[in-house]
Every structure is written in structure tokens, then in C-alpha cells.
A and B are shown apart, each in its own frame.
Chain A
């Protein structure tokens, strides 16, 4: 994760689909264009679907990191206001 400067983080491991995406989207809305959000998510459906939904919203995905506790952290750069 050292490669990126993270401006904010959000943990969506405490919610289920479709709230996972909603929570991530709300966190992105609070950022300015070009800022970077780290989204911590569970294995399974969240990691299969959330990155794609973020892409379809037009944001730029930089990396998906695998965490030691079995969760993942998606690094996203906000695109658009």
C-alpha cells in the first residue's frame, strides 16, 4: 500500500450487498477529484462485485491488496466531482 498516498479509508466489511457499494460510493462522494480512497472489503461477493461497480461509476482503480486477515483493500482514485 506504500505506493499510494491514501486520503481516506472506508471499511465495508460490516455491511452486505448492496450496502457495500453504497457505503463505498458515499465515501467517494466526500472526496475531491484526484483524491485516493482505500476500501476494505470481505472476500466473496464484495470483492467480486464492488470493484466492477466502482469502475462502472467512472472512478479509477489503482490496486487490490490482499490483507493478512482474509479481507481486501481496494485503492481507488476519485474521478469527477
Chain B
């Protein structure tokens, strides 16, 4: 048998198993979404080339174990017919994860599926000094655990009270968990120092008496493996998609420029200095 280039196979999503010449094939999944067509083909490949089952990974991926070395090219071709592509492993941008977001979930503040797809188009598989993970969660319920990721994006709502539509029912003041809303002389007063932009006031308002725009809270340097650190939110509220991608571009470039090989973003930030990262991010934020 020819020399096996495990590095290339790993990069292409073929994860070496304990069992010789067997690979667990990782598939590319964006934001946890697969079509019925994808799933049918995955099932077919698992039965024909694997051991008849798949493993769902901790980050919304799918792996098909027990793919034989000799079948790798055939498996790739077969999966391609069902619109499936191999994923990646190693030092590069990994699977972009997402919750279902505002298209499906009543709590969602942003279209996470769309943002995940755009992040994927922009960065997926990009070569870097170490692995780099993006996660997108639609709201402060944080089902997708944004802060576990190197860059985590959390949906928010930038809110402003609309007096003319308000019936002064008082629901928003109780729905707010930050005690940021008070009602004074029939007027709703928001203390923006306390507001965390969760949008519960908007979601609960019977007359939609709020101007509410999708916004983003972004955290940097999360990791949840051998070391555990929560990603930190360093910027004011991000209010447009263009601004969001300027910031994510700046973060990933900072990592590419400054990280040592095999150093996660968190440790680059700690070594180089949070102030230096902040400066770069703030410039991108301001445009």
C-alpha cells in the first residue's frame, strides 16, 4: 500500500481511528443544519462503507466511523452526490456552530443560520497557528454557549421605547431581568447602563411599542478543552452586520499575525496583551 499522508487526511476530515486503516470521517456541517438529502446520503454511506452508524460530535458535526482507507475516494464521491463535503480538523477554522435563531425560535434576536453560513463562507478551513472556533447563539439564553468559542457571537436587540404605541401596561418592567426598566409618570424609562440588550421587553410587549434592531455581542478567547476560559466581551454593542464582520476579520487576523504554533487564541491574547487586541478590535468596530 502507498504511503499514507495522515496530515492531509486529517485536514480533509478523515480522523484516524485506533483500528488500523479505519477512519472516522468528519463532515462539513454549518450551523447544525443538514438537509434530508444530506442525511439520506450519510445513512447510505454509513451502511455501505462504515459500520452502519454515525457519531454526532460535541460541536454539531457528524462523523461516519469505520471508513476504510481503500474506500476514501469512493466515499468522497458518493457523499458529494448527496451534497455533503468532508469537514476539517487540525490548525484551521473549524465547524461554525449555531442555534436555530430568529427564523425558528421565538427567543431568537438574530438570524444565526445566515450569520453562521456567512462566517463559514468567509473563514471555514482557513489555515491558522491553531484551531479556531466560531459559535453563534441567537439570544441571552445562550443555548449555543457562545463564550466557549474563540469567537462567540450572541444575538441582542438594540431597543428604544415607542411612546405612541405604548398602552402603559407595565409588562416590560417585570419582564426585564436586569431591572433596567422603570415606569415614571406613564413613561417607560430604560437605564441603558443596566440594559443587557436581551430583548425580553420587546418580546413581551403586547403592542410592540419598541423600535428593536438586531445587534451582536461578541466574545473573544473562549476555550473549553484542556484549559477552560470564558470568552470575554470587550466591545460596545455591535449594531450592523458589516461592523460584525469587520470585527471578526480583525480578531482572526490578530490571531494569524500574533499566535505561536499550537497556541489557542486565549493564550495569544494573554501573552501579547488584551489592550493590543482591544485596540485592533476597536479600530475595526469604529471602521
Interface residues of A (CB under 8 A from B): 43, 47-49, 51-52, 55-56, 60-66, 72, 74
B200 at the interface (CB under 8 A from A): yes
Instruction: Verify B206–A55 contact, CB threshold 8 A.
Output: yes
Instruction: Verify A51–B167 contact, CB threshold 8 A.
Output: no
- A-B contacts, 24 of them at CB < 8 A, read A43-B174, A47-B174, A47-B175, A48-B177, A48-B200, A48-B204, A49-B175, A51-B171, A51-B204, A51-B206, A52-B171, A52-B200, A55-B203, A55-B204, A55-B206, A56-B106, A60-B206, A61-B169, A61-B171, A61-B206, A62-B167, A64-B169, A64-B174, A72-B174
Q: Which residues of A contact B171 (CB under 8 A)?
A: 51-52, 61, 64, 74
Q: Which residues of A contact B205 (CB under 8 A)?
A: 55
Q: Which residues of A contact B177 (CB under 8 A)?
A: 48
What is the bound-complex CA distance between A56 and B206, given in angstroms? 9
Q: Which residues of B contact A64 (CB under 8 A)?
A: 169-171, 174
Number of cross-chain contacts by CB at 8 Å: 42
Within 8 A of A (CB), among B186-203: 200, 203
Instruction: Verify B106–A62 contact, CB threshold 8 A.
Output: no
Q: Which residues of B contact A66 (CB under 8 A)?
A: 170
Closest to A72 in B: B174
What is the bound-complex CA distance between A62 and B169, given in angstroms? 6
Closest to A66 in B: B170
What is the bound-complex CA distance between A64 and B205, given in angstroms? 11
Most A C-beta atoms less than 10 A away, residue of B106, B170, B174, B203? B174
Closest to B203 in A: A52
What is the bound-complex CA distance between A52 and B202, given in angstroms? 9
B157-193 vs A, Cβ < 8 Å mask (1 yes, 0 no): 0000000000101110011010000000000000000
What is the bound-complex CA distance between A72 and B200, given in angstroms? 18
What is the bound-complex CA distance between A52 and B198, given in angstroms? 14
Q: Which residues of A contact B169 (CB under 8 A)?
A: 61-64
What is the bound-complex CA distance between A72 and B206, given in angstroms? 16
CB distance from B219 to the nearest CB of A (A): 25
CB distance from B195 to the nearest CB of A (A): 16
Q: Which residues of B contact A72 (CB under 8 A)?
A: 174
What is the bound-complex CA distance between A69 and B175, given in angstroms? 19
What is the bound-complex CA distance between A66 and B167, given in angstroms? 16
What is the bound-complex CA distance between A52 and B171, given in angstroms? 9
Closest to A56 in B: B106
Q: Which residues of B contact A62 (CB under 8 A)?
A: 167, 169, 206
Q: Which residues of A contact B106 (CB under 8 A)?
A: 56
Q: Which residues of B contact A74 (CB under 8 A)?
A: 171
Q: Which residues of B contact A61 (CB under 8 A)?
A: 169, 171, 206
The 7 A-B pairs of least Cβ separation, nearest first, read A61-B206, A52-B204, A64-B170, A51-B171, A47-B174, A63-B169, A64-B171
CB distance from A50 to the nearest CB of B (A): 9
Closest to B106 in A: A56
CB distance from B174 to the nearest CB of A (A): 4
Instruction: Verify B175–A63 contact, CB threshold 8 A.
Output: no
Most B C-beta atoms less than 10 A away, residue of A47, A48, A52? A52
Q: Which residues of B contact A63 (CB under 8 A)?
A: 167, 169-170
